[in-house]
Amino acid sequence: MSRLLAPPALSDAPLAPGLYLVATPIGNLRDITLRALDVLNACDVLLAEDTRVSGKLLAAYSISKRLQRYDEHVADRETPRILERLEAGERVALVSDAGTPMVSDPGYRLAQAAIAAGHPVFPIPGASAALAALTLAGLPTDRFLFAGFPPPKSAARKTFFAELANVRATLIFYEGASRVADSLADMAAVFGPRQGAVARELTKLYETCIRGPLDELAADPRFEAPKGEIVILVGPGEEAPVREGDAEAALREAMARLPLGEAASEVARALGLPRRDLYRQALALKDAG
């Protein structure tokens, strides 16, 4: 019987000054990384979206650290003070309630300010609800777009979805439990019968992922009053066929700024057509003047 290797010990190496963006578990507390624990142990101050939530994580790992609130309500006031701490050479760590900081929270403002002021910024990767749901959904993963939270009102929500309807990628949304059914109905109306998935309570005891066409998901009674954190994913739509004249118009535009071969290559990539045929068409257009 093989012996399990002991995990590497927490590092006692000095932590360099700068801003640390630390991913934290989205449910299961064992999803914290060893490097994240190193940073949480060694930082001078820990900025948290909700100090009560982050306090529970610290308590689970017997970490005693000064916690300071940093959310959208205090960001404008606190950012200059935090920059002063960075200027003084302190190690500042930022966490959200769960997952990776700056994904659907105001942390990006602090990162922008720190970068603009010339301070080092370090990503400490780890859990992410968007990526966890993507790997679980069974939808294409080669190209995806995280679109955050849809608007709360139906009219604005449909407009928001319509702007994404032609994106050739799996779409990832966060949604509040009370609006899941309405959002799914609007998605079905805008995106049609695309394949979708609804993931909830990821990494927790009642983790579920329900998959199917959007219209069936919208009619599913399980989403009338769900509980927990929700991620909705929508598969990419079918590629629209190239209309007659599209290739010629695209070639003429590309030929106006590129050599013939490069123009044919660009249009071939954009429209999914054979480059050889497009090059011949480009030569004919050039000869015709």
pLDDT digits (tens, 9 = 90+) for 35-57: 999 999 999 999 999 999 999 99
Overall size of the chain counted in residues: 289
**pLDDT tens digits along 197-249:** 999 999 999 999 999 999 999 999 999 888 888 999 999 987 666 666 778 88
Residue type for 165, please? A
Residue 5: what pLDDT? 63
pLDDT at residue 189 above 70?
yes
Q: Which residues pair with 144 in a beta bridge?
A: 170
Q: Which pLDDT score, from 0 to 100, does residue 102 have?
A: 83
Tens digits of residue pLDDT in 120-143: 999 999 999 999 999 999 999 999
pLDDT band per the 50, 70, 90 thresholds, residue 98: very high
Residue at token pair 């407009």: 159
Other Cβ atoms less than 10 A from the Cβ of 218: the count is 20
> Which positions ≥6 away from 51 have C-beta within 8 Å?
67, 68, 69
Q: Which amino acid is at 42?
A: A
Q: Which two tokens stand for residue 83?
A: 């920059």
> How far is it, in rounded angstroms, from Cα 139 to Cα 232?
12
Strand ranges in the chain using DSSP code E only, listed in sequence order:
18-22, 45-48, 67-69, 91-95, 121-124, 144-148, 170-175, 195-200, 208-213, 230-234
